[in-house]
Amino acid sequence: MAYLEIRQTGPLSGTYRVQGSKNAVLPMLAATLLVPGKTTLHRVPKIKDVNVMLEILHLLGCCSCWEGEALTIDAGNVNNWVIPEELIGQMRSSVILLAPILYRMKKAAVVEPGGCSIGRRPIDIHLYVLQALGVKLHYEWEEHIFAQADYFCGAHLFLKFPSVGATEQAILAAVTANGMTVIDNAAREPEISELCRMLRGMGAKITGDQTGRIVIEGVKELFESTCEVGADRIVAATCLSAVAVCSGEITLTGVDASHLNGVIEPFEKMGCKIWSDKDTLTAARMDKLMAIPYLKTSPYPGFPTDVQSLIMAVMSFADGQSVVEEGIFEGRFRTAYQLQKMGAAIIIENNQAIIWGGHLIGTKVEAPDLRGGAALAIAGLGADGVTTIFGYDHIARGYEDLAGMLFMLGAQAALRE
Ligand code: EPZ
């Protein structure tokens, strides 16, 4: 069973080209079903979640072909409409496949994905969106959902929460709907804009994807295209966390700094200097690492919930008391208990973590989830001795090679079998 071995590391120095974005490529892969032909995506990260999505696409009748970082999906022969229960359990975000499957097959079936380690993860907003766009939903044996629609009808949608996945579901349905669709209180994450950029390249008519109000004029059909996946902003934030803990200076290439809205400011408050030029971002920490009195996770352009565990690890070394409030998921503090095993002074009160920076000691820890596993690696860079991180399966869902990435930045990190 693979595990990470992280040793305390001094000042970093290195360059890393950031991998393609997991949370952008997954909806883009779902969008390939909207064309009965070939779509090629470039800079696709070789991660577990992409492999699960490919497994589902193959079961739906698609073929796929890798050429380096380019992935071509041939959706010419979609002949199935069921998202397999064991695969949606592995990757909840595959629920966004409902809209494209309905477009191709006029019916779809899925089991409610259920909760995970970070929260209950309901899909009620997804279902609201589909019903508003004309989909008939039937429930068999409670959580089995059967959906039917000969076509989508444009509608004016208001999301009760700017859900990223439900916004993607709405877009994937509305682009071929009869008439206009307006999505109010839509998510504004960069991954939404990436999906819209790809769909516009396929002939979709979408505006407003960074404003919270997305307007879509449905078209009869979409066309074959190619599209490049943008950099993974959470992986970039992981690199910022590493240099914040170790000090030194690192360079990230292939990054759109505007996607790091909400992330750069807190790291600067902690003592990092961050500057960008075109698609290169440089980050350094020469001064003392400072605590942040209060930080709350919120929808984009706020501080991302996916960086919460990472910054909690950084705060474990900062001078003073920090408070992080989790404003998105109700169960996303499990990493704190693993950090406590390393000697971190953290208490959890309701949906806040209170962290007093200090001294950590390397030990054996278990990744509770994807971003928590990365956070433990970041903590290991600053802790005395060696930190061994089990549960690497979680980390492999979103990082092509976390140890290799940290090693390229000058850290003592290795993946052991
Ligand atoms: C996406 O998840 C990301 N995953 C998550 O990243 C990220 O943490 C999250 O957005 C928030 O930014 C992917 O893009 C694959 P949401 P998603 O729908 O779409 C509630 C990672 O580590 N909600 O915006 O599932 C929900 O319970 C992952 O890469 C409903 O109530 O997130 C949560 O409290 C983790 N009903 C809040 O909205 C719904 O129908 C945000 O969820 C849907 C969501």
Amino acid identity, residue 235?
V
pLDDT of residue 142: 67
**Are the C-beta atoms of 208 and 372 separated by less than 8 Å?**
no
The 10s digit of each residue's pLDDT in 90-104 is 899 999 999 999 999
Question: Two tokens at 56?
Answer: 């589902």
How close is the Cα of 412 to the center of ligand 1, in Å? 33
How close is the Cα of 165 to the center of ligand 1, in Å? 6
In the predicted model, what is the mean pLDDT of residues 137-166?
93
The 10s digit of each residue's pLDDT in 70-93 is 999 999 999 999 998 888 888 999
pLDDT of residue 112: 84
Residue nearest to atom 15 of ligand 1 (CA): 23
**Are the C-beta atoms of 39 and 180 separated by less than 8 Å?**
no
Measured from the CA of 305, which atom of ligand 1 is nearest? 8
Instruction: Tell me the best of 19, 21, 22, 23 to mutate to test the pocket of ligand 1, counting ligand atoms within 8 Å of each CB and taking the most.
Output: 23
Q: Is the N-terminal amide bond of 301 cis, ω within 30° of 0?
A: yes
Residue nearest to atom 28 of ligand 1 (CA): 306
For 414: left if phi > 0, alpha if psi spans -120 to 50, otherwise beta; the answer is: beta
Which protein residues are within 6 Å of ligand 1, measured from CB? 22-23, 26, 93, 119-126, 161, 163-166, 191, 305-306, 328-329, 370-371, 398
In the predicted model, what is the mean pLDDT of residues 139-148?
84
Task: Specify which residues 290 forms β-bridges with.
Answer: 319
Residue 276 sits at φ, ψ, to 5 deg, of: -135, 155
How close is the Cα of 11 to the center of ligand 1, in Å? 35
- What confidence tier does 121 reach under pLDDT thresholds 50, 70, 90? confident
Residue 169 has pLDDT above 70, yes or no: yes
Question: Two tokens at 331?
Answer: 């169960």
The 10s digit of each residue's pLDDT in 7-62 is 999 999 999 999 999 999 999 999 999 999 999 999 999 999 999 999 999 999 99
How close is the Cα of 194 to the center of ligand 1, in Å? 17
Strand boundaries in 25-106, DSSP class E: 38-42, 63-67, 70-74
Is residue 195 helix, strand or coil? helix
Measured from the CA of 398, which atom of ligand 1 is nearest? 29
List, by residue number, the catalytic residues.
Answer: 116
d(CA 308, CA 330): 13
Question: Two tokens at 108?
Answer: 């779809």
Residue nearest to atom 4 of ligand 1 (CA): 23
d(CA 314, CA 289): 9
For the purposes of burial, counting CB atoms within 10 Å of the CB of 220, is it exposed (0-12), middle (13-18) or buried (19 or more)?
exposed
The 10s digit of each residue's pLDDT in 277-310 is 999 999 999 999 999 999 999 999 999 999 999 9
| Cα separation of the two ends of the chain | 6
Question: Two tokens at 323?
Answer: 């408070």
pLDDT of residue 89: 85
Amino acid identity, residue 144?
H
How close is the Cα of 128 to the center of ligand 1, in Å? 16
In the predicted model, what is the mean pLDDT of residues 240-245?
98
Question: Two tokens at 230?
Answer: 């943008």
Residue nearest to atom 31 of ligand 1 (CA): 122
Q: How far is CA 112 from the centre of its chain?
A: 20
d(CA 164, CA 129): 13
Strand boundaries in 224-362, DSSP class E: 225-228, 248-253, 273-277, 280-285, 295-296, 321-325, 345-349, 352-356
**Are the C-beta atoms of 320 and 292 separated by less than 8 Å?**
no
For 203: left if phi > 0, alpha if psi spans -120 to 50, otherwise beta; the answer is: left
d(CA 142, CA 411): 49
pLDDT of residue 330: 85
Q: What distances in angstroms separate CA 403 from CA 36, 56, 293, one per listed residue?
A: 39, 28, 31
In the predicted model, what is the mean pLDDT of residues 194-223?
97
What is the CA angle 262-267-271, rounded to 5?
150
Report DSSP state, residue 353. Answer: E
- Residue among 216, 258, 221, 209 at smallest CA distance from 236: 258
